[in-house]
Amino acid sequence: MTERLWAPWRMQYVSSARDKPEGCLFCDRAQGECTPENLVLWRNEHALVMLNAFPYTNGHLMVAPIRHTADLSDLSDDELLAVAKLVRECVNLLQAAYHPDGFNIGVNLGRAAGAGIEDHIHWHVVPRWNGDTNFMPVLADVRVIPDSLENTYQTLRQIVNQHDGHGIDP
């Protein structure tokens, strides 16, 4: 008998994969407020932090420069420093919220390297826990995310609000 794993939240991803949206996700989100709807947790003058709408694990964050570019060499020193500082703050935020055992941090430059959004450079900060892999991705090509984006956003935003953007210590 075939088992069914219901994942209705995936329909948004499946539907959106057919049609490439107009505009740039990061540029659009940089213009909006920090809200659960747009998934932006916080930003500074040069960069923003937002939840990945299709996360690898709970707390999967993305850091992107405000200015639209796909080329690492186009970033000014100030922009690159702002991104690096926000990546560090993301690690601290995730440590404070979830106490992961490690992190995957990186940037995919170009479609061949796995960039899902190849027109706007961005870094991924993915918390990892000992034992967070299981048989589901191997046997069923399914990843189980144990909490909703809404709850993850609220948990992380509460910590950001407590620190008012002045550094988050785990």
CATH of the domain at 53: 3.30.428.10
**pTM recorded for the entire structure:** 0.79
Number of domains in the chain: 1
- Report pLDDT for 141: 56
- Higher pLDDT: 64 or 19? It is 64
Q: Which residues are catalytic?
A: 122
Q: Is the model more confident about 55 or about 134?
A: 55
Task: Give 79-134 pLDDT, tens digit per residue.
Answer: 999 999 999 999 999 999 999 999 999 998 888 877 788 899 999 999 998 877 65
The span from the CA of 66 to the CA of 8, in Å, is 32
The verdict on residue 6 lying in a domain is: no
Q: Return the higher-pLDDT residue of 166 and 90.
A: 90
Supply the range of the domain harboring residue 117. Answer: 24-162
Q: Which alpha helices (H) appear in 67-129, and where do they start and end?
A: 77-98
Whether 7 maps to a domain, the answer reads no
Rounded Cα distance, 154 and 35, in Å: 10
What the block records as the tokens of 139 is 């046997």
The pLDDT assigned to 110 comes to 84
89: in domain = yes
Residue 170 inside a domain? The answer is no
On whether residue 11 sits in a domain, the answer given is: no
Residue 129 domain flag = yes
CB 136 within 8 A of CB 143: yes
Q: What is the mean pLDDT of the chain?
A: 83
Classify residue 66: in a domain, yes or no: yes
CA atoms within 13 A on the CB side of 164: 0
Residue 151 forms part of a structural domain = yes
